[in-house]
Structure 1
């Protein structure tokens, strides 16, 4: 036995091995989560269960042998319930809320797409680790875009209009009367259209530098019958057209930008004098030790393989990361020329920050 082995505490080792087995199990099941979401397995089980593997296969048009194995893995993960007495599987309301109901405030079914993208893009990220260069959103797997849109939709749908906008000084009143709004880094336009639906007298503009995402956003706006009030354009944050916006929003994207100071400086120059800039950022405390939490764990991982590479692929490459924290973001807005800054509200997953001239 070597010296290192002699110093190992068996109890600590067993605890750590248990943690690792749990993490490996979660990692192995990430693809099964994606399959369950994509094929409607969770939704069908939640709607029609309890069901045998054969019944679920028949209901979803899938092969029973695969479904039997998938169900077994889900039951072993604690994602669904298995009743040995009748050989049927079901979902408790809490499980269904997380995996089967896309409109639930706790829906996480889109996580499979995000995890898949990080694995598909691993070769490019590993190379970036060696070179120090970035990997832009324009070079990422397609599933990252749809997964990101669906993942953030949950929070936006249940907090944006109900809590975040009312926490800003005088913004709701302007939106009700008819305001001009810019959604910078809008992606598929989920946040833009949620606001447009709630405030029909206002005009909304969504901007993103990723052309395919803008095409998807335009298509969604047309299908929703909002194309007359919602306009989507390909643009970087530093080239957003001047319009004297009453409200400019950055939803979970400022930290991805290479030059967030330059982006905010430009936005400051095209806002109305009494306008508001809302920054929605991943929740983070200011110190690393205070972010060593389950939420911080997810965000640091995403920051490593998505956010930081995106910023380093752009000019300046400030690489704020997804755990920048309020103090660092306050400094960025001050450098951009904003004189007022405050935390308007928060959730366990987001900081909602207000910057004004």
Structure 2
């Protein structure tokens, strides 16, 4: 039997790191609340103000706002003037915390922390019993995902994503058939349908709640060239139907991603293009040691993407299935040509340009 000698310096450094993690976790929760209550947006428009003034401007309870401000001040998000007893959100911080920051708004992503925390008991049970946690247990998940997609995919769609495929914009203007698999609340597809009235758009998603939201939005914008349907992509049975098929962050949490990819290959016309946006990562953990948000993505995987797949008896690929596994599965599905591209502003995703021939 061997014993390891304790390195006191290393132990102390780790203890300090754990204290930092506790503080950062707490701030993440408060940041989510600040986003949902629009406190950051309110403060960004105010001069240095008292808690009473901030609460009144936001239409919120002052006592709760004051305690929230305590976390924000000690967390160094908000500046505090002890003499005037006023609080100020620096513009350098507002640039990453407000809705006007658009794709730079990192506060919106902290909403995933409480969403995932709400299923912790179920996840712990899965550690002992196996299985998974179904979509129905995740409250607000589709709403948060729709907001994230609006900030990332939708805002980059026309200037960055579509230009990855030569002549795609021109083809959409002329008129083609497009399918989005795992379309969620339809933000991306509705935006495309509005921009390209000559093309025809179809969106499939497993969630009835998400599809209902997508339909309402399409009706609100009076879009006549789009249809949404609740459908399990593993049951998709169409042949040579679409010129463009897209999946945005949707393959890795499918119960049967291998079948879904085969079905997409069958549904794509011979000269069509499949655009797959998915997480930029390596399949093996040692390839992700320098990934800037690897712990975050493995956590999202364990507490959502992997577990929802396993809940339906699926493969449980998880968020971090990685480029190597993705390429292997695309080849097995029947695709012959794959090009992987990245966008300068998007370190989280890879964009696979995929063809049948």
TM-score (ref. length: structure 2): 0.91
Residue 16 of structure 1 pairs with residue 21 of structure 2: no
Residue 244 of structure 1 pairs with residue 248 of structure 2: no
Q: Work out the CA distance in 2 between the residues paired with 1:175 and 1:90.
A: 47
SS at match of 1:110: helix
1:173–1:203 CA distance, 2 compared to 1 (3 A): same
Residue 78 of structure 1 pairs with residue 76 of structure 2: yes
The answer for the alignment partner of 1:99 in structure 2 is 97
* Native 8 Å contact 1:102 1:109 kept in 2: no
Residue 147 of structure 1 pairs with residue 144 of structure 2: yes
* Native 8 Å contact 1:168 1:344 kept in 2: no
The answer for the alignment partner of 1:297 in structure 2 is 295
* Native 8 Å contact 2:194 2:223 kept in 1: no
Consecutive unaligned residues of structure 2, counting only runs of 5 or more, are: none
Residue 128 of structure 1 pairs with residue 126 of structure 2: yes
Q: Work out the CA distance in 2 between the residues paired with 1:285 and 1:158.
A: 26
- Count the aligned residue pairs: 350
Residue 89 of structure 1 pairs with residue 83 of structure 2: no
* Native 8 Å contact 2:236 2:260 kept in 1: no
* Structure 1 residue 200: Cα displacement: 3.1
Residue 310 of structure 1 pairs with residue 341 of structure 2: no
* Structure 1 residue 14: Cα displacement: 2.8
Q: Work out the CA distance in 1 between the residues paired with 2:188 and 2:145.
A: 12
* Native 8 Å contact 2:288 2:294 kept in 1: yes
* Structure 1 residue 227: Cα displacement: 3.2
Residue 175 of structure 1 pairs with residue 151 of structure 2: no
* Structure 1 residue 85: Cα displacement: 4.7
* Structure 1 residue 188: Cα displacement: 1.0
* Native 8 Å contact 2:193 2:223 kept in 1: no
The answer for the alignment partner of 1:212 in structure 2 is 209
* Native 8 Å contact 1:303 1:321 kept in 2: yes
* Native 8 Å contact 1:345 1:352 kept in 2: yes
* Native 8 Å contact 1:101 1:107 kept in 2: yes
The answer for the alignment partner of 1:201 in structure 2 is 198
Superposed CA offset, 1:169-201 (max 9, x none): 432221121121111111111221232333333
SS at match of 1:254: coil
SS at match of 1:344: strand
Query: Among residues 21, 32, 35, which one is paired with 2:33 in the alignment?
Result: 35
TM-score (ref. length: structure 1): 0.91
SS at match of 1:220: helix
* Native 8 Å contact 2:179 2:202 kept in 1: yes
SS at match of 1:129: helix
Q: Work out the CA distance in 2 between the residues paired with 1:221 and 1:241.
A: 25
1:198–1:344 CA distance, 2 compared to 1 (3 A): farther
